[in-house]
A and B are shown apart, each in its own frame.
Chain A
Amino acid sequence: MSVALEEATPAARLQDDARLAAATRRRQQRERWMTHLWLLLGVLIFAFPIWITLVGSTHDTATIGRGDVPLLPGSHGLENYTAAFQTGGSGRYRSSPAGLMLWNSAVMAMCIAVGKIAISLLSAYAVVFFSFPGRMLAFWTIFITLMLPVEVRIIPTYQVIVALDLFNSFAGLTIPLIASATATLLFRQFFLTIPDEYVEAAKIDGAGPLRFFRDILLPLSVTNIAALFVILFIYGWNQYLWPLLIVNDRSMETIVVGLAKMIGSGDTQNEWNVIMATAVLALLPPVLVVLVMQRWFVKGLTETEK
């Protein structure tokens, strides 16, 4: 062993090191390739259906009707999208124009997201920062609603809405979905992490409860609000069962419901090209919200403490 060591000349040792370095480089390259391969595979799995939809929305009715699944875009994109946006499907089920439905969905999702955030911010504020009789009772009452899924409450809720004469209205569409325990819980947890010293400093500065809420608590919650807004907007956008029940006026139809209705189950041919164009349109607003808010809450993350 010691003999071998003595025999290794400086030149030989240098060569050894070079070989080792080359091997390391190769291994690192291999690892990089593997990582990217897996990532690429994941992207393909997620993106492929969307690609099919996109491509499908650019062909004419007949192509898809024949059972072909084209992988390359066709030439009927513009007319399909115009049809979807302005008139809706023209087959067995004549849907409302996508433009109107998108508007309805946007209003509904926006009302739900904003309403939920407003209500839960205020209720979490009350539960965390004030002590009043029945505080824990209030908290548990909110908490317990989490245990009842929408489907369980849907009949009584429906009756209440009808009795209040809110059938076929945005109020009826959104108010029952606004009451939210999840968001209240999230804000409660966040508020609990805010040091008492802020509250005390604000008290000494002379800020009353509403001022403290507006000047200190709200700015500190921006990131949380942004994140919740994204989640809640998409939650609202994807609502299906409730809008289906509470709206029968075609002009109030939301895009998710309209889209489902466009797919007929009878023997009339579905206009898959228009349906797919509508699906693509339905996809855009949530994507837009994610993109816009993402920038916003990353900014919030880097500029405030915590």
Chain B
Amino acid sequence: MATLELSGIRKSFGATKVLHGIDLTVPDGEMIVIVGASGCGKSTLLRIVAGLEAPTEGTVRIGGREVTALEPADRDIAMVFQNYALYPHMTVAQNMAYGLKIRGLPKAEIARRVGETAELLGISALLDRRPRQLSGGQRQRVAMGRAIVREPKLFLFDEPLSNLDAKLRVQMRAEIRRLQRRLGVTSLFVTHDQTEAMTLGDRLVVMHAGHAAQVATPMEVWARPADTYVAGFIGSPAMNFLEGRLAEGGHAVALRAGPVLRFADGPRPGPEGRRLTIGIRPEHVVRDGENGLDLALDLVEPLGSETVLHGRLPGGEALTAKLLGAAPAAGGSLKVAIPPAELHIFDAETGRRLDPRD
């Protein structure tokens, strides 16, 4: 158990810069989820922490000890791989024991640890099987067991759930969370799945093109996204973005689609007419039969309790709304309103979030 500190991590593969200076401190026992689209550098970052890749610049410290130049085996970490990487010719018990055997632990100690871990994960009955004879969920559990049995300072997860079917994924997700809480081991979890990120992480690192776009708790990332990328990445269906300009001395925004919305939480800085991007989550859009905006529907997706509507506003901008209950069929139209309290205000040029006293 230990803290993890990354400072100024940069990585280039030849001329291609993959990471542009990542700083991150993970306190003892925290579970950090690194989330981002493919190619954002999240896996590279994890591999640098694991020692499978050397950073071009920057340092990695685990438990206060600088490990940047150390071999993976000397970093006291454990990793769960996307395809589990269980050695096919070894039994489950041998797979779990291999690392301990190499470290030269006495046989009795190895047997005790493997037994306890298997008990913890409910795989005691599988110890003599080979990976090929296991189902996906069982393999996943064995991969976890192999990591836990080492009693490492740091767990690294590289998209470990992406090979499971949807139902099992939800189940294993909860299980990983419970285990991590119980063991209290500092963890780094890489995923491209935002649901996984939201449910697993104490904090999220949203990566975008080699930068950490935002580091915050899941709810904060959702409620106060730092920029338009994060805002669009977290949340499903994705946030709507509308064009607007600063109006009424900074107290309101004039949408291109027509209405002028007064900010609920105070004025934004900048000259009158400053170009803004206004974000509104589909679930925050409401019906308004009287003075709402006309939303011309071109796709309606009923989900049972809710309906997702894709349509266009009078100005031609696309808007997605998620409403309770049934809705008119595609081709029709619906009056909707955008509640000012739910707006996210971003600068149109930089994409950064604009807060009231900015």
Contacts and interface: CB of A to CB of B under 8 A. Distances in A.
Interface of A: 195, 197-198, 200-201, 203-207, 211, 215-216, 219-220, 222, 303-306
A204 B72 contact: yes
Contact of A203 (B72, B83, B84): B72
Interface residues of B, number: 25
Interface string B82-109: 1111011100000000110011000000
B317 interface: no
Contact of A197 (B81, B131, B132): B81
B226 interface: no
Given A207-B102, A211-B102, A305-B131, A201 B87 contact: yes
B68 to A, nearest CB: 16
Nearest to A203: B72
Contacts, number: 65
A215 to B, nearest CB: 7
B183 to A, nearest CB: 18
A198 B131 CA distance: 13
Given A201-B79, A211-B102, A206 B87 contact: no
Contacts of A207: 73, 98, 102
Given A200-B79, A201-B79, A204-B99, A219 B89 contact: yes
Contacts of B71: 203, 206
B71 to A, nearest CB: 7
A205 B73 contact: yes
B132 A204 contact: no
A228 B334 CA distance: 72
Contact of B78 (A198, A204, A219, A306): A204
6 contacts: A203-B72, A207-B73, A220-B89, A304-B88, A305-B89, A305-B131
B52 interface: yes
Contacts of A304: 88-89, 132
A105 B88 CA distance: 37
A203 B52 contact: yes
Given A215-B98, A305-B131, A305-B132, A203 B73 contact: yes
Given A207-B102, A211-B102, A215-B98, A201 B85 contact: yes
Nearest to B52: A200
A211 B79 CA distance: 19
